Structure 1
Amino acid sequence: MDIYSYLVVQQAPHFETGDIISLHKSVTMFGRKTSNWTPDITFNNIFVSRKHFTIFLQSNHIYIEDLASKHGTYLNEKKLIPHKPVKLKNNDRITFAKNLVSLSFSLKDFEQTSEFSFLFTDKLVGNEPKLDFLKQTLHIQNHSISLTEKEFKFIDILIQRKTFISKEEIIEYVWPERLTINNEYLVGYEEVNALIYRLRKKLPNLVKVNTIRGRGYSLTIEEDRYHQLPSRRM
C-alpha cells in the first residue's frame, strides 16, 4: 500500500489515542490473534473476529472489506456488507468491536503524493520540511519537533495547501470525529486558536504559522534565518 495512507487511533484497548497505524502493505489484515493465527494489526477483544476486515490497495484506490466478522465493521456509522469492498475517503471513520475501537483514515491521493513527495524522502532540499507519520514529528533542517495528533494534522494540511487554508477547512481535517449527524462540527474557533498558539510555541523561529485576516492561515519558512539558529529538539 502507498506509504502516505494511515489510520489514527481515536480509541482502542491497548492503544493510545493518537497512535498511528501505517498502511504500508498492499493488503493489511485486521483481527484477533489466536494460537495459530496472527493478523497484521491485532485487536485482542472478544468482539473482534480472527479475520475481521482488510484494507487493501487496488487500481490506485484504497478499499476496506469486512470479512464476514461476527459483530461487523462500520464505516461512518454504516455497517459494511460482508465481502463487499468500499473505497475509503480521507477522514472516514472505522468502528468495530461494539464501538470499543474507533479509527480515522487519512489519505494523501496520488496527485498530492507526487506533488509533495519531498516530504517523505531522506534528502531535503533547502529547508523544506519533512513529516514522519509514524513518529508524528516534523523535521526541518536540524530541528526535530514532536507533535500531538491534532498539531501534526494541522501542519500536514498547511504543507499540502501551499497558499492558505480557512478555519472551516482546518476543523474538518483536524477534528473529523466532531462531525454531527447534522453535518456540523462541534469545534469552536477558540479551540482552533488554542491549537495554533501551542503549535507556534513549539516551532522554531524560522517556521511561521501566519494569520491571514478574514481568510485563514498559511505556513512560511524563512531561509535567511536558518544558519543563525541553534539546534533545538522537543
Structure 2
Amino acid sequence: MNSSLPFCLIVSRGAPYEDGTALVLDRTVTRLGRRASSEGPDIAFDNAYVSRRQASIRFLDGSYYLTDLASKHGTNLNGVPLQPFVPALLASGDRISLARGMIELAFGPRPLEETLDFTLRHERLSAKLTGVKPEYELDPVRYTLRLGPRSFAFSEKEFRLLELLVRKEKQFVSKEEIVRYVWPERPEGMDPARAASAEEINSLLYRIRKKTDYALSIENIRGKGYVFQEPVFSDC
C-alpha cells in the first residue's frame, strides 16, 4: 500500500455526508462514531444506530487496519461482522457497513484532483487479444463496470454480487458467502421467510449477464456456489 498517497473512505450512504464524499484518512488513528454535542469522533455520523465509539482505522507500517470498538450494532467488513478489538487489514475496494447497513463506506486511494471517481483496476490477458492487457474497472460509488471501451450500470445488489465474484476471480464463492456480502441486513439465523434465497442470487446473476451482453464468464457450481472467470473481451 502506497503511504505517500492518503487513502480515504468514500460514502455510499451515511448522513450528514453526501453520497460520493471522500473522507481522507490522514491521521495515524481515525475514529468513527456518532455525532455528539461534546468532543466527537474524527468522522461523525448522524445515525442513532452508530455508537459514539463505533470503530477506528489505524495506519501502521504502510497499511490500514479497521477495528470495531465493541459497538452496540457492530461493524461489518465486506459483509462479515468484525470481532470487537480485533484489527482487520483493509484492502483497496473493501466495503465497510455500520448501523445495520444504513452506513455504507468504500475504502480506497484518495481520488486524484479531489474527484469522486473511486475505482478498482484489474488487468487481465484477453483470450482473444493475445499479448494485449485490456482493463476492466469497477466503480463502487456509481455501481458501474467498465469493460474495455464499454460501460455497464447495475443496481446496488447486482454490483455487490459482481464485486464479490471479481474480488475472488477464479476462486469458489459459496452461496452462504454471497448472502452475507450482498444481504448483510438479512443475517443467517433470521426468519427463513425473510432469508435471501438461491432464486434471488440466480435472478441477480441473470440480470448481470444480460446487462453485460454475456461478456462475463460466471460458472455455476450446481447447488454450491459460483466461480468468476476472465471476462470475454472479443465483443468489447
Smaller-chain TM-score range? 0.5 to 0.7
Q: Secondary structure at the match of 2:226?
A: strand
Identity value in percent: 31
Give TM-score scaled by structure 2 length: 0.57
Letter in 2 for 1:120: R
Q: Distance in 2 between matches of 1:24 and 1:153?
A: 23
1:25-40 matched pairs, under 5 angstroms: 25-26=25-26, 27-30=29-32
Tell me which amino acid in the other structure corresponds to 2:102: S
1:176 aligns with 184
Which residue of structure 2 aligns with residue 120 of structure 1? 121
What one-letter code is carried by the residue in structure 1 that aligns with 2:169? R
1:150 aligns with 157
Contact 1:61–1:87, Cα closer than 8 Å, also in 2: no
Partner of 2:116: none
The alpha-carbon deviation at position 169 of structure 1 amounts to 2.5
CA gap of 1:200–1:14, structure 2 versus 1, over 3 A, is farther
Letter paired with 1:222? V
Secondary structure of 1:178's counterpart equals coil
In structure 1, list runs of 5 or more residues that go unmatched. Answer: 67-71, 109-117, 227-234
TM-score by length of 1: 0.57
What SS does structure 1 have at the residue aligned with 2:170? coil
Partner amino acid, structure 2, of 1:177: E
Instruction: Name the counterpart of 1:186.
Output: 195
Report if the CA contact (8 A) 1:143-1:204 is conserved.
Answer: no
CA RMSD, Structure 1 to Structure 2 (Å): 5.0
1:142 CA displacement: 0.8
Q: 1:135 is matched with which residue: 138, 142, 151? A: 142
Q: Secondary structure at the match of 1:177?
A: coil
Aligned residues: 201
Aligned partner of 1:94 in structure 2 is 98
> What is residue 43 of structure 1 aligned with on the other side?
45
Summarize deviations over 1:194-233 as a string: whole Å, max 9, x none. 211222221134334343434433334223333xxxxxxx
